[in-house]
Protein backbone atom coordinates (compact mmCIF):
# COMPACT_ATOMS: atom_id res chain seq x y z
CA UNK A 1 0.00 0.00 0.00
CA UNK A 2 1.29 3.46 -0.95
CA UNK A 3 0.96 6.11 1.76
CA UNK A 4 0.35 9.45 0.03
CA UNK A 5 -0.14 13.15 0.70
CA UNK A 6 -2.49 15.03 -1.62
CA UNK A 7 -1.49 18.68 -2.17
CA UNK A 8 -3.85 20.94 -4.10
CA UNK A 9 -5.27 24.35 -3.27
CA UNK A 10 -8.76 23.31 -4.44
CA UNK A 11 -10.61 21.57 -1.55
CA UNK A 12 -13.19 19.92 -3.82
CA UNK A 13 -10.44 18.36 -5.92
CA UNK A 14 -8.64 17.11 -2.80
CA UNK A 15 -11.87 15.51 -1.56
CA UNK A 16 -12.48 13.87 -4.95
CA UNK A 17 -8.94 12.49 -5.19
CA UNK A 18 -8.95 11.36 -1.57
CA UNK A 19 -12.21 9.44 -2.06
CA UNK A 20 -10.77 7.62 -5.08
CA UNK A 21 -7.49 6.80 -3.34
CA UNK A 22 -9.04 5.78 -0.04
CA UNK A 23 -11.42 3.40 -1.84
CA UNK A 24 -8.46 1.59 -3.39
CA UNK A 25 -6.49 -1.20 -1.77
CA UNK A 26 -3.29 0.33 -3.20
CA UNK A 27 -3.38 3.78 -1.59
CA UNK A 28 -3.88 5.39 1.79
CA UNK A 29 -4.11 9.17 2.06
CA UNK A 30 -2.17 10.12 5.19
CA UNK A 31 -2.38 13.90 4.75
CA UNK A 32 -3.78 16.78 2.73
CA UNK A 33 -2.12 20.11 1.96
CA UNK A 34 -3.31 23.29 0.25
CA UNK A 35 0.17 24.67 -0.52
CA UNK A 36 3.69 23.55 -1.25
CA UNK A 37 4.80 24.75 2.17
CA UNK A 38 2.16 22.62 3.87
CA UNK A 39 3.06 19.62 1.68
CA UNK A 40 6.71 19.89 2.74
CA UNK A 41 5.75 20.17 6.42
CA UNK A 42 3.53 17.08 6.17
CA UNK A 43 6.16 15.15 4.19
CA UNK A 44 8.73 15.79 6.96
CA UNK A 45 6.24 14.77 9.64
CA UNK A 46 4.57 11.77 7.98
CA UNK A 47 7.29 10.45 5.64
CA UNK A 48 4.83 9.18 3.00
CA UNK A 49 5.75 7.03 0.03
CA UNK A 50 4.53 9.73 -2.35
CA UNK A 51 3.22 13.27 -2.61
CA UNK A 52 0.71 14.10 -5.34
CA UNK A 53 1.04 17.86 -5.83
CA UNK A 54 -0.62 20.40 -8.09
CA UNK A 55 1.91 22.49 -10.00
CA UNK A 56 0.08 25.76 -9.35
CA UNK A 57 -0.68 26.56 -5.73
CA UNK A 58 -0.49 29.90 -3.91
CA UNK A 59 2.76 30.71 -2.15
CA UNK A 60 5.22 27.88 -2.59
CA UNK A 61 4.01 25.93 -5.62
CA UNK A 62 4.28 22.23 -6.40
CA UNK A 63 7.46 22.56 -8.45
CA UNK A 64 9.32 24.37 -5.67
CA UNK A 65 8.05 21.76 -3.22
CA UNK A 66 9.48 18.98 -5.42
CA UNK A 67 12.96 20.54 -5.33
CA UNK A 68 12.88 20.70 -1.52
CA UNK A 69 11.34 17.26 -0.96
CA UNK A 70 13.74 15.53 -3.35
CA UNK A 71 16.75 17.29 -1.79
CA UNK A 72 15.83 16.54 1.83
CA UNK A 73 13.79 13.34 1.46
CA UNK A 74 14.92 11.67 -1.78
CA UNK A 75 13.02 8.43 -1.15
CA UNK A 76 9.66 10.20 -1.36
CA UNK A 77 8.21 10.08 -4.86
CA UNK A 78 6.49 13.25 -6.07
CA UNK A 79 3.88 13.21 -8.81
CA UNK A 80 3.03 16.63 -10.22
CA UNK A 81 -0.47 17.22 -11.54
CA UNK A 82 -2.17 20.13 -13.29
CA UNK A 83 -5.35 21.05 -15.10
CA UNK A 84 -3.02 22.27 -17.86
CA UNK A 85 -1.52 19.77 -20.27
CA UNK A 86 1.41 19.69 -22.64
CA UNK A 87 5.03 18.78 -23.16
CA UNK A 88 6.12 21.85 -21.19
CA UNK A 89 4.73 20.34 -17.99
CA UNK A 90 6.37 16.96 -18.63
CA UNK A 91 9.70 18.76 -18.99
CA UNK A 92 9.07 20.89 -15.91
CA UNK A 93 8.32 17.79 -13.85
CA UNK A 94 11.41 16.00 -15.12
CA UNK A 95 13.63 19.04 -14.53
CA UNK A 96 12.38 19.46 -10.96
CA UNK A 97 13.08 15.84 -10.05
CA UNK A 98 9.44 14.75 -9.92
CA UNK A 99 8.71 11.09 -10.53
CA UNK A 100 6.07 11.96 -13.13
CA UNK A 101 3.59 14.51 -14.43
CA UNK A 102 -0.05 13.54 -14.90
CA UNK A 103 -2.63 15.98 -16.31
CA UNK A 104 -5.71 16.06 -14.09
CA UNK A 105 -7.79 14.93 -17.06
CA UNK A 106 -5.75 11.70 -17.12
CA UNK A 107 -5.56 11.17 -13.38
CA UNK A 108 -6.71 7.70 -12.36
CA UNK A 109 -5.64 4.86 -10.09
CA UNK A 110 -4.03 3.22 -13.10
CA UNK A 111 -2.01 6.33 -14.07
CA UNK A 112 -0.88 6.80 -10.46
CA UNK A 113 0.18 3.16 -10.13
CA UNK A 114 2.10 3.41 -13.38
CA UNK A 115 3.83 6.65 -12.30
CA UNK A 116 4.89 5.11 -9.00
CA UNK A 117 6.29 2.03 -10.79
CA UNK A 118 8.34 4.37 -13.01
CA UNK A 119 9.93 5.82 -9.91
CA UNK A 120 11.15 2.47 -8.58
Residue 119 lies in a domain: no
Beta bridge partners, 82, equal: 103
Residue 54 lies in a domain: yes
Give the structural domain span for 19: 2-114
This prediction's pTM: 0.93
Q: Report the number of distinct structural domains present in the chain.
A: 1
Residue 120 lies in a domain: no
Q: Are 101 and 95 in contact (CB under 8 A)?
A: no
pLDDT at 120: 64
CATH number at residue 29: 3.40.50.2300
Quick one: pLDDT band at residue 119, thresholds 50, 70, 90? Answer: low
Amino acid sequence: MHRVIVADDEPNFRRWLRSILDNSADFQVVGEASSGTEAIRLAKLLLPDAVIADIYMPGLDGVEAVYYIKEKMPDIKVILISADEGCFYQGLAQESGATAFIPKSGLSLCSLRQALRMGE
